[in-house]
Every structure is written in C-alpha cells, then in structure tokens.
A and B are shown apart, each in its own frame.
Chain A
C-alpha cells in the first residue's frame, strides 16, 4: 500500500478525480479552487488525461459537458461565484442529463476569505435538481471525487462536489493508491435529439424526467457510504455537514461526552433514515456552513414526524448566520442550547491592520498613479476582480461586483455622470472571461468611457495561470496568442497600448485620450513583477538633500518605501521599478 501523504484538500480532490477515471478536466482559476487544476496539470504527465484552463466557468462547464456527452468522464472545476457564470448551462444540463460521468467541483468561501460573497452551492444543487456531495475531510474529498463519476453515470446527471475554503485549503494525512476506475459506458456520441436538443417539446418531457429522478436519488442516498450515524444515549441530536461534523466531534471529545449524531454528506438527503432519527429526540442542533439548507429540511420533515421538535441552528441564532465555524463557535452553541452563558474566548488587542497590498514593483500601481494624475479627483473608476481590486487603497477602484462588471457598470455610470470621467479598470484574464461582451455593448450603444485593461500577462491573483493572451495552455503547450488590442479594435474601440513604466510618454498619451469621446481602450502592458527576471533590477537611493518631506512617494502605497522621521527609506523589498523616482517632484529619489 502507498504511504500516506500530507495533502492539501484540493490536491486530494485532484487525486480522487484521477482515481475516478478522469478523462478531461476544465476550469477557470478562482480561490479557493485553483490548486485542484494545478495538481491535475502535474499529474497529467504523458497524456494520461487532458487538463485545460478555460476562458471562463460557463465555457469550462459546457466543454466538460461535451466530453460527457461523448461518454467520457469529465470534471468542471470552479469557485462558488463561478457557478453563477456556469448556471445557465448547469440548469438545462440537468434536463438533458449526461452520458459519461460529469463532476462539477465547486469551492465555496464561507467567511469571504477571497471572494465577493459567501453564497452556498448546495442551493444550486437543489435548484438544478442535481445530486451534491459534501466532504468533511481531505480523505473523504478524495473518496467522494472518485465515487462521483460512477454515481453521475448511474443517474445520468451532473454531480456537484461542494468544498469550502477550510477544506480546499485544509490539509491532512491522506491515503492514496486506490484503483483507477474504468467507466462501463460505451464511448462515442450517439445522436439523440429528443434528449439533447432542448426545444420546448423535448424540454417539457425532460423536466418531468428530472422530477421523477428525484425520488430515486433520495433512495440511493440512503445507501451511499458517506452519511453516518453515531448512536449514543441522549435526547438531543446533532446533525452536521462538512467540517461542522469534525468541530462537533472535537468539542464533545474534549468534554468527554457522547451525543447522538448524524453526518449529512449527500443531497438530496437520505430522508427516511433522517426522519427516523428525528422521531426519537426532543431537540436538534443543525451545524452547517453557508445557508440553513439542512435546517430548513429538518424543519419540514419534523412537521410530519415530530411536530414538537425543538430545532436549533442558524435560524434561531444559536450559530451565526454568516462566516465559517470553529471549535469555539460549536462549543458556544452547545452552551447556548443548555441555557448557559457561552464561554467567551480572548482575542487580540487592537492592532494596526495589515490588509493585502499590491506587491512592490507591481505594474498596476504605476497604471493607477498615471490614471489618477490624468483623470483627477472627480473621475469614477468602476473596477473588476483581480489583484488590481487592491487599487481600492489608492482610490482607483470605486466598484467591484463580479467578473467583467466594471465595463458595463462604467457604461451605466457614464450615461448618468456625463460631466465626470469614467475609467473602467479590468485585468487581462478578466477581460477574456467576461469583459468582451461588455466592451462590444459599450461601443455599439455609444457609451462614453475609458476602459483600462491592466495586462500583466497572467492570471496573477490566483497563482499565475495562463490565459488566451499568454499563448500558452495549462499543459504548457505553445498555443495561438489572442491579442487584446485586436479584439478591442475589432469591437470598434480606439485602442492604444502603453508601458506603465514609461511615465512621461504614458502621461501625454493619456492626456489625449482624456480629451477624446466614445469608448477608448488603454492597454497597460507590463508583466507581473513576480514573474519578471530579477537580475536587471536597478537600485533606488534617497538623495536626502533634495527631500522636502512632502510624502508624495508614500501615496502610492508601495510597501518598499517606509518613512523614518523626516525622509523616506527604501527597504529590501524594492524591485527598482523606478515609479517613485518618476513621481517625486523634488528629485529626492534617484535611480542608481
């Protein structure tokens, strides 16, 4: 047997997909899901299976769906908000169903560590009427990922595998070495328009078929290996999902108590057994991260089998509605239920915050300083999703909604704020993801705004994944490079390409652009500093005699500049980008 390894939850999922007989995988990067695909790239080796970074989640899902229609096993991997993008396809893919197994891995982000919201993907599973599995440990994540393919094929439905951040980025000793499964489905696309062409007549039938499958799914869930009962004396039942199961186990172990417990790991839930368990108790505590999905079900079931049941969870405030759980929170909820004042845990004293910042030498900082200088205080900067969202600290990101929203939000703002410049900020990868339709719409409908594409030649925030503009694929093959400027020109927008480190030239070009009308695209092209070669970096020194203490150099928020009494100090983090040199009005910063 293989030795145990210390694995990231996401890596365990990747191994599970491979052991499940994965043939092709498609994803758009997004925290906390990106490491699954990165691991798959590593494991793909000599063409064992295909791995792709797709342009967005909808495309990723649909391509995976295509693979599944040809009878092969496919995965589509994304973060929770990515499922919004793919939702249109998912809803109807549930109608047509799939042939080969299709697993949609979705990583939710309770506590919003690195996202815009904390939506619960289990709601999507209920909404689309597809099965959903939720692991509570990396080992279980591996086993579920492996299991999901055959389950998907058995019911002919896409299957969701829901992770949360602490599982995706949690770690554990994991046992590998399960036999790689082989699908029994005969490969090859078989034409079946009644099933695969969702015109109304077919869709009506398919919808009925999907509803009929629900009962069968619920029955199947009574037998899958992941749900768990833990019998113990007591009149209070704990129903827990995901990590909540482990937190509760830890609290009880520490208190040396044993309560009856149920782990719910699959949806639709195993209704019969759950109802039986509800009959036997007086009280229930439901522990689940995200929405009160289970709690609502328990309430519904109890009306039939135990109307007087006392139900605690998120809806009565026993556990917090938002955020993620911890051992402390579960301990407090048990105290609250027992009518005891919950134990309060100490926290840190009030300290200066350390929010994430753009790296020293980040070209986005240069682009922001240029835009601020040319477009001035009154300008509005609708933003987007990426490292550059950190421009919030420089006053150059005024909105952030979802992928691609900056350009369209900007078009709306520009229509109403005609006396203020509107400069939409978007990154290269985000532009490919969802910015293109918004740009075309803005040109076509004669919006009056500037679109700044901060092209750092990578998908930086999520760990430097390639995209169509880099001309390289996930598997490292050279591909055809899609040029941003050609797309923008073809859409009919006036387009210029600037190097944000050429400050003088950029300022004069931007000045002309400011005076213009219509949709004007500026592409700031300069590679991410984390990927740049480090040899050729110049040194920045402070010419003390010139410094007048104006602190303009600090305004860029560069972490390599610190203030010591009366003058700036350049620290070891400096990359020598020279931006501070260009913006210092007194020549107090000099490139050596």
Chain B
C-alpha cells in the first residue's frame, strides 16, 4: 500500500483554514489523486480552535491518524502545538509565529520558544516565521492562509502549477491576483532557504 501524503491545517476560526484545505484538496484532484479530507464547520468557527485534514493519494477515511501527518500547516503557534501529535517524525511543520491570544481574564499565553520546542519534539522539521507580518506587507492579513499554502507548496506531491490552477477554483475572482501573488511569494520563500539548512524534509523536485 502506498501511503498517502497527509496534511493537517490548524489555526483559529476565521483565519481561512477551510479555504486552504479546499485549495490543497482541489489541487490533488486536479493532479488526478484520490483525496480525502475533513473540516470544522459550525460553532468552533467563532474564534475557536480549528483543524482541517487533507489526505492526498488516500482511499480511506477522512481523518489523518495520530503521528501520520507528513505536513502540519499551523496558522497560529499555540494551535500548532495543539495538533502537533499528528506529526510523524521527519515530517515538516510550517508554523506562523504570530500569536492570537485566547480571550479570557485568566489565560496566560505560553512562551513562543516553548511552543516551537514542543513542535520540534515530535521530530518534525520546523519552518517558523511571522507570516502574518509578511501577509500584511504584501497586501492584507486576510491572505495569510494562501501565503502559508505557498510556503508549504514545495513539500506537496502536487506541481505548483496545479496548485495555482486550483486557486482559480477556490478564490473569488476579485481577490485572485493578490492571492496568486502571495502563493508565489510563499513558494519562493521556501525555495530561497539556504541549502544545508536544517530542513531534512527537503522540498520535492525543483520544477514548477
């Protein structure tokens, strides 16, 4: 049995997680892969903790099993840790370091260093940065989701061009050009990482 490429996307309700899950899934289908996935709808979308799964090349159920994810895409660092148990050793974790503090009088938000260390402990290769700031600079916080999909793109078993095509199907036309821009930016960000960096989970191929 060939194992599927399993992706877990997580963050806070309202960050556009469903859109990323849709984008990656659509891209997989365009590439001719069987794809399974699952999303959070309803109550948790109101600023709660949100997760989505996309299983590229999968013919089984919608949920990624524990310690089987090849890629974690965390749009928020605390949420990244919450779902880090999905990661298998040697997988890649793309983590946004911009924190969104849970509302509440008594909540202390953990230290970022601790959070990133917890993710590293799973044996995954960590690619962490303030992608919120990048999205802001490129046009809007709203496109953080697609920007991070771009950062993750070189690790996926799907051509970048196909992901770009899937973007057409996923994003409303009036926002398309900004989304295309940040998707490209994300891909180039990962590609430009110095060779010999600690990313053992090397991006696949160098084409498109």
Contact = CB atoms under 8 A, between A and B. Distances in A.
Interface of A: 4-6, 8, 31-32, 34-35, 113-114, 166-167, 169-173, 243, 246-247, 249-250, 253-254, 256, 326-328, 345-349, 351-359, 387, 390, 393, 461-463, 551, 554-555, 557-559, 562, 572
A359 B33 CA distance: 38
Given A169-B41, A354-B102, 16 more contacts: A6-B22, A113-B43, A113-B44, A166-B38, A170-B36, A170-B62, A171-B37, A246-B61, A326-B63, A327-B66, A349-B118, A352-B110, A354-B47, A354-B49, A357-B103, A461-B42
Contacts of B110: 351-352
Contacts of A387: 46
A558 B82 CA distance: 23
Interface string B21-38: 110011011000111111
Given A32-B41, A254-B1, A352 B109 contact: yes
Interface residues of B, number: 53
B14 to A, nearest CB: 8
A8 B25 CA distance: 11
Given A6-B29, A354-B49, A461-B42, A171 B67 contact: no
B45 A351 contact: no
Nearest to A362: B46
Contacts of B102: 352-355
B78 interface: yes
Given A250-B65, A354-B12, A114 B42 contact: yes
Contacts of B48: 354-357
A242 B37 CA distance: 15
B131 interface: no
B172 interface: no
16 contacts: A6-B28, A113-B44, A114-B42, A169-B40, A171-B35, A247-B60, A326-B63, A328-B66, A346-B85, A351-B78, A352-B110, A353-B49, A354-B12, A357-B48, A393-B104, A557-B104
Contacts of A559: 47, 103
A243 B44 contact: no
A520 B198 CA distance: 67
Contacts of B38: 166, 169-171
A403 B118 CA distance: 42
Contacts of B40: 113, 169
B44 A562 contact: no
Contact of B39 (A169, A173, A352, A463): A169
